[in-house]
A and B are shown apart, each in its own frame.
Chain A
Amino acid sequence: GQNIDQPTEMTATEGAIVQINCTYQTSGFNGLFWYQQHAGEAPTFLSYNVLDGLEEKGRFSSFLSRSKGYSYLLLKELQMKDSASYLCAVRDPSGGSYIPTFGRGTSLIVHP
């Protein structure tokens, strides 16, 4: 089976740093994705980690530890437009599919 957990909601202040955690329990592993979804819009790709370590892309970074079944998305210099839902998704090919399974998402609210 597959189980992906993320906090339901987080709040942070403009200009600050926030870390959104994701833990997973899957039979197999072939990559972890982070997506951003603004209200009423489609999810957009943020990052993909398949090896342990930190991937940095501008203000956003994503970290993966396969042995711990753990990832986080780090958002620096928060802006109001970062208020959105952040979805963690894991690819588990053990069932013969490369379709990622999504967590329920973390709603991030950035306030002034």
Chain B
Amino acid sequence: KAGVTQTPRYLIKTRGQQVTLSCSPISGHRSVSWYQQTPGQGLQFLFEYFSETQRNKGNFPGRFSGRQFSNSRSEMNVSTLELGDSALYLCASSLDQGASSEQYFGPGTRLTVT
């Protein structure tokens, strides 16, 4: 069974631009979560989607948004990029959103904002 895939793996953008990252979960998984990882803050939760609906959202500004498609693939968008948005963006998928559900992480997209 293929794992979680994320595209692109690396991205360089300039301040003010916008970016879209993509995540394909493990086949059969309906829950997709997005995290931002930086050396200073660690792994911080962005949002979670389940069956095309955003179920939970972390404490990030409205410039960060996402969506999920009917095939469970998910995208996240960051508009008006800032230097502080440089980070590793990780996507994790799980079978459902219940307590017993384990998360599987993708390799991440390394975003650099210059």
Contact B107 A105 (CB under 8 A): no
Contact B33 A43 (CB under 8 A): no
Cross-chain pair count, CB within 8 angstroms: 50
Contacts of A100 in B (CB 8 A): 103
Expressed in whole angstroms, the Cα–Cα distance for A20 and B24 within the complex equals 33
Contact A98 B106 (CB under 8 A): no
Residue of A at shortest CB range from B56? A97
Expressed in whole angstroms, the Cα–Cα distance for A64 and B104 within the complex equals 22
Interface residues of B in 28-76 (CB under 8 A from A): 33, 35, 41-45, 48, 55-56
Expressed in whole angstroms, the Cα–Cα distance for A96 and B107 within the complex equals 28
Contact A105 B42 (CB under 8 A): yes
Contacts of B42 in A (CB 8 A): 87, 102-105
Contact B105 A42 (CB under 8 A): yes
A-contact 0/1 string along B68-86, CB 8 Å cutoff? 0000000000000000000
Q: How far is the CB of A3 from chain B (nearest CB, A)?
A: 13
Contacts of A31 in B (CB 8 A): 99
Interface size on A, as a range, is 20 to 34
Contact A45 B107 (CB under 8 A): no
A-B contact pairs, 16 of them (CB 8 A): A30-B99, A33-B103, A42-B4, A43-B43, A44-B105, A45-B102, A45-B104, A48-B102, A50-B99, A93-B99, A97-B56, A99-B48, A100-B103, A103-B42, A104-B41, A104-B42
Contacts of B43 in A (CB 8 A): 43, 87, 89, 102, 105
Contacts of A79 in B (CB 8 A): none
Q: How far is the CB of B111 from chain A (nearest CB, A)?
A: 14
Contacts of A98 in B (CB 8 A): 97-99, 101
Decide: A91 near B106, CB < 8 A? Known: A99-B48, A102-B43, A104-B42. Answer: no
